[in-house]
Amino acid sequence: MLHHFVELPVDPYLVATTELTYAENPTATLLTAARHRGYVYSSGAYSHKAYPPVEFTYSAAEIDPALRLVDADTLKGLFRVEGGVGCARNRAVISCAKWQRPNS
């Protein structure tokens, strides 16, 4: 985060950062840690202090490689279009085995 105030010794003035650490693999990119760091400018240089990182772990995904056929009756009511065809708001995400419009 940068501040722009005439009273500060430099413009822009670095106030804080949020550092995000990721683990990348072919299936997904996962957030593994987040750390907040604050900065102070004094004597021509920045000094900083940071909180300890908050670390995240995830349960391993168990993906079944088998393909299965789904009958038409099972698919009824699964898809819902709001706002008309071609509307930019027709994005859908899957949640609890039903398609829903994401919150905007």
pLDDT tens track for 4-20: 888 888 888 899 999 99
Note the pTM of the prediction, 2 decimals: 0.53
Give all strands (DSSP E) within 15-58, no chain letters: 16-24, 29-42, 45-50, 54-55
CA distances from 52 to 5, 15, 18, 45, 69 (A): 29, 18, 12, 23, 49
Domain extents for the chain? Answer: 2-58
* Mean pLDDT to the nearest integer, 36-56: 93
Provide the pLDDT confidence category of residue 99 given band limits of 50, 70 and 90: very low
Say which residue the tokens 């009273």 belong to.
Answer: 7
